[in-house]
Amino acid sequence: MNTIPSVNLKDFLSDNPADKQKFVAEIGKAYEEIGFVALKGHFLSDTLVNQLYDQIKSFFNLPDDIKSKYEIEGIGGQRGYTSFGKEHAKGRKEGDLKEFWHFGQYVEDDDKLKATYPDNVIVEELAEFNSVGKETYKMLEKTAKYVLRALALHLQLEETYFDKYIKNGNSILRPIHYPPITEEPKNAIRAAAHGDINLITLLMGAQGRGLQVQNHDGEWIDAIAEPDELMINVGDMLSRHTNNKLKSTIHQVVNPPRELWGTSRYSIPFFMHPISEMPLNCLENCIDEEHPKLYEDTTAGEFLHERLIELGLIKE
């Protein structure tokens, strides 16, 4: 596959069973073959998207000493600000050429679970930053719920199979700023080749060149979404849970041509995580003689902890 398929969530939400089944078949095929789709018909309005970009550009334009007071020690970067070059891809020493912010879950009706998540960090300098971030988080979480419902049907599971695992899940909204490149990078790119940790990732801001996806032949494909599309990919948790039936695809963000080094790039991924207790054991209906079980049993919490150590965000 050499292009990223485009699907429309409105087909799945339709009252027409044929349209709904068409969406399930299209997204299932795409996730088995390349692990990425471009999705129209999501729950983000143009107004909300523009508001979020205004807010995150204002934040990343703040002086470093202001931003640094929102970098919280001891929580592995799960909330608030992470400064330039701190995170690296698994297996690499060089820090990625980016800075970012994390909005986390807004737990409802579960005080015990709420106590296990770090609090969201409030930016005092920008009155609308946190409210716009929360509204975006909720709309992306709602979009992700219906994508996972379609995937549950594709996997011959009950449609709401994932619902109980993603309610109050440990999901993260991450506005990223890739600053202008001021000197020849030493073996570093904006985001080195990696697979995502989580169930699925919903990406805003893939309209320009930069994001590349590796197909099953090892070729890098430009992944460019239309302005009204989200790029959505399978993460390692979902790939593991489906015994690699759904593919977690390696992707990267490459540096722009030298003539564009003076420009910033922004992207905003939403990493859909389940609650920590979710078992990631390979689904029985994804195992047969031709597809033996590939992974040991584990939980989402155990898997996440292991990967955060590999990324350099928490210490052993």
pLDDT of residue 316: 63
Crossing angle, helix 129-154 and helix 46-60, to 10 degrees? 120
Contact predicate 84/94, CB 8 Å: no
Contacts of 60 (CB under 8 A, 6+ apart): 67, 99, 177, 179, 264
CATH number at residue 136: 2.60.120.330
Q: In the predicted model, is pLDDT for residue 189 greater than 60? A: no
Is the pLDDT reported for residue 95 higher than 70?
no
* 133-175 per-position pLDDT tens digit: 999 999 999 999 999 999 999 999 999 999 999 999 999 999 9
Euclidean distance between CA atoms 195 and 83, whole angstroms = 21
Q: What confidence tens digit (pLDDT) does each residue in 297-312 have?
A: 999 999 988 887 887 7
Residue 98 lies in a domain: yes
Contacts 24+ apart (CB under 8 A), 46-49: 46/228, 48/132, 48/135, 48/136, 48/139, 49/136, 49/204
The confidence score (pLDDT) of residue 21 equals 97
Distance of alpha carbon 148 from alpha carbon 19, whole angstroms: 17
Query: For the chain, what is the domain count?
Result: 1
Residue 1 is assigned to a structural domain of this protein: no
Domain membership of residue 265 (yes or no) is yes
Place of tokens 């977690």: 248
Q: Is residue 126 situated within a structural domain? A: yes
Q: pLDDT at position 1, please?
A: 54
What's residue 193's pLDDT?
Answer: 80
**Better-predicted residue by pLDDT, 265 or 206:** 265
The Cα 35–Cα 239 span in angstroms is: 9
Q: How confident is the model at residue 90 (pLDDT cuts 50, 70, 90)?
A: low
Provide the pLDDT for residue 251: 87
Structure tokens at 116: 């296990």
Two tokens at 159?
Answer: 């449609």
The dihedral through the CA atoms of 207, 209, 211, 212 has a sign that is positive
User: Beta 36-40 vs 6-8: how paired, if at all?
Assistant: parallel
Q: How far is CA 214 from the centre of its chain?
A: 17
Check residue 296 and give its pLDDT.
94
Query: Whole-angstrom Cα distance, residue 23 to residue 177?
Result: 33
> Looking at the domain assignment, is residue 217 inside a domain?
yes
> Considering the domain boundaries, does residue 179 fall inside one?
yes
Calculate the CA dihedral of residues 303, 75, 203, 12 and round it to 10 degrees: 60
Residue 42 CB partners (closer than 8 Å, separation 6+): 9, 139, 140, 143, 202, 230
pTM to 2 decimal places: 0.89
Question: pLDDT > 90: what percent of the chain?
Answer: 65
The confidence band for 191, taking pLDDT boundaries of 50, 70 and 90, is low
Whose tokens are 């003689």? That residue is 289
Residue 316 lies in a domain: no
| Of 195-209, 232-246, 278-292, the least confident | 195-209
Q: Which domain holds residue 284?
A: 6-310
